[in-house]
Amino acid sequence: MSGDLKFKIMKKIILCLMILLTGIAFSQKKRCGTDELNLNRLQQNPSLIKSRQQQELTLQKSILSSSKKRINLTIPVVVHVIYNSDFENVSNEQIESQIDALNRDFNNLNSDSLISSHAFYPIVGNIGIKFELATKDPSGKITTGITRTKTSKTSWIEDDLNKDNMKFTSTGGIENWDPKKFLNIYTVRFDDAVGLLGYAYFPEDLASFPETDGVVVDFRCFGTKGTSGSEGFTPYNLGRTVTHEVGHWLGLFHIWGDKVFETDKVCGDDNVADTPPAEGDNSGNPVFPFRPNNKCGSDKNGEMFMNYMDYVHDKSMVMFSKGQVTRMTSAINTFRTDLLKYSPSTIKVNSITINSPNNNSVFNKLEGTIQLSSIVLPINATNKNVKWSCVPDTIATIDQTGKITILKEGKVTITVQSTDGSLISASKEISIINESTTALDENIQNRFLTIHPNPTSDLFYISTNSFGNGKVRIYDIVGKVWVENNFSHEQNQINLTSLQNGNYIVEIEINGELFREKLIKK
C-alpha cells in the first residue's frame, strides 16, 4: 500500500469527522443514508477511526492478492417486515420479487444491462452470488425466511435511524438474525421528513456492531410488485434500492467517493480502479455520455451514472464494475467469511401446470403434432426438470420436450412429473378428433343416433335408442369447446343461439363411447 493511498484514506476519515460537528440530518430527500449513519457511528465511537484505516488497508491487500475470479456463493436472506398498517405488510410475492431482482442485478442477468457496443460494457461485472430466502432459522428450525412484526410506530424518524430502533424489540422492531450467517433486510416506513430510501452498514463493522448489521429500506421501494413504487416512489420500483444497499453491505462506497462538502475541490474516491472519477452523486435519468472530461478527470465517456452505487432512478442503474466485484469478493473473504460456510438448501418443486395451445383440450389429428409446456413452481426450484408420459400410446405419443405426435382419433391422458423426487405431477386429458368425420360411428351395431335438423339456426335434437344419459360437446374447427351439456332420452334439446354461423363438430358420449358428426349453424 502506497503512502499516498494511506494519506487519502486518513484525509477522507478526518473530513468525515469534521461534518459531524454540525450533526447528522436528513433534511432533504435522499436515496441512501449509509454515509450519514456510519459517520454518526464514528462520532459516537472515535476509536473506530484508526481501526477503519487499518481495515481498509487489509482489504486493499486482499484485493491486490485476489485472483479476481467469480465466487460461487449462496447468501441466505431473512426479510424482517415491520408494519403498522396492512398496506405496509408487504406480501410474500413482493419479497420474492426482491430476491429475484438481487439475483439478476448481481449476476448481470438484468434485461436492461449494457449492450455490447456501450463504452463501459467491457468492465461490466458478474459476482456469481445467489441470494435465497433462508430455509432454516438460527436455531435450525424450518423457516420461510420472513418475519413479520406489527409495531405501534406509524413511521420511523431520524432519531430511530441513528439508534437503529427497528432492530430491537424494546423500541418497536425485532432483533436481527445471526449477521455472520444471514443477510438481514428490514422493510419499514421512513417518516416523510427523513426523506430516505434506505441505508446499510459496511462489513468492517460486523465484529464490533453485530446487533445492527444489515440493510433497511422503505417498503415503497422494495421489490418490483405490490407496494413498490407506491405513494410517489415510482422511480424506485425495480428493487434497486436494495441492490444499492447490499452493495454497501458488501463493502462498496458510492461511485463518486462520498465527498464531505459540496464545495470540496478534492474529488472523492470509491477505492475502485475501473470506476471513472465523478464530481458527485447523480439523480434522475442522465443521458450517456454524462459529464465527459469532467473536472475530476473523467475521459470522453464521462461518469458511470448507470452504476448501482450512484443515486439515479432505478431504470438508469444497471451494472456493477469488475473492480467492484473484486472489492465485494475480497470483503466477503476478509470480513464475512462465515458466509462461505453456508450450504445452499435444495428448493423443492411444489406445483406443476400443463399449458397447451390456447388452453385447448381438443385437437384435430390432421395437425400431426401438438406442443405442450409445463410451468414449474417455485421459480427458484433447484431442479425444474420434468418427465412427460402419454396413455394410451396407441393414440398418441409424447417426447420429453412435451411434443405430442398424433396417431389416430381418441382420448389420451398426458402427465408431467417433477424429477426432483418430490412426487409432484399434473395430468391433462386431451381429445383428438378428425374434422373430416361426416357421419356418426358406423361400427356400433344396433344403435340408432342422429342429430336433427342439420343445418339448423337455433336448436337441434339428439335422437337415440339408448336410454342412458350422455354428454354433448360442440367444437369449432380448431378444437375450441363452445357448448358442453348433459342430455338424456327425455331431455335431448340443445340450444345453439349463442353460436355464430359456421361449421362445427358435435361430439356425443354415451356409456363411454364417442360419436361425432359435422353440424352447420346458419
Amino acid in the structure at residue 130: K
User: At 211, is the secondary structure helix, strand, or coil?
Assistant: helix
- Do 499 and 482 form a contact (C-beta atoms < 8 A)? yes
User: H or E segment at 459?
Assistant: strand 459-464
What is the rounded distance in angstroms from the CA atom of residue 48 to the CA atom of residue 437?
86
Grid-cell match 358406423, residue found: 442
- The closest of 96, 181, 161, 108 to 133, measured between CA atoms, is 96
What are the E-state strand segments in 50-194? 73-83, 129-133, 146-150, 183-188
Grid coordinates given for 20: 459531524
Contacts of 354 (CB under 8 A, 6+ apart): 372, 373, 374, 414, 416, 426, 427, 428
Grid-cell match 462538502, residue found: 261
Using the 8-state DSSP alphabet, how is residue 423 labeled?
-
Q: How far is CA 506 from CA 25, 125, 434, 487, in A?
A: 76, 61, 12, 13
What is the rounded distance in angstroms from the CA atom of residue 318 to the CA atom of residue 305?
9
Using CB atoms within 10 Å of the CB of residue 112, give its burial: 0 to 12 exposed, 13 to 18 middle, 19+ buried: middle
Catalytic position from the list 36, 158, 245, 507: 245
Length of the chain counted residue by residue = 522
- Do 279 and 297 form a contact (C-beta atoms < 8 A)? no
Torsion, CA 200, CA 204, CA 206, CA 211, rounded to 10: -50
Grid-cell match 458478474, residue found: 126
Amino acid in the structure at residue 9: I
245 is a catalytic site residue: yes
- Do 413 and 390 form a contact (C-beta atoms < 8 A)? yes
- The closest of 102, 320, 92 to 215, measured between CA atoms, is 102
Q: What b/e string do you get for 63-81 counting C-beta neighbours within 10 Å, with b at 16 or more?
A: beeeeeeeeebebbbbbbb
Phi, psi of 90 (to 5 degrees): -60, 145
Grid coordinates given for 420: 426432483
Cis peptide before 138 (omega within 30 of 0): no
* Residues known to be catalytic: 245
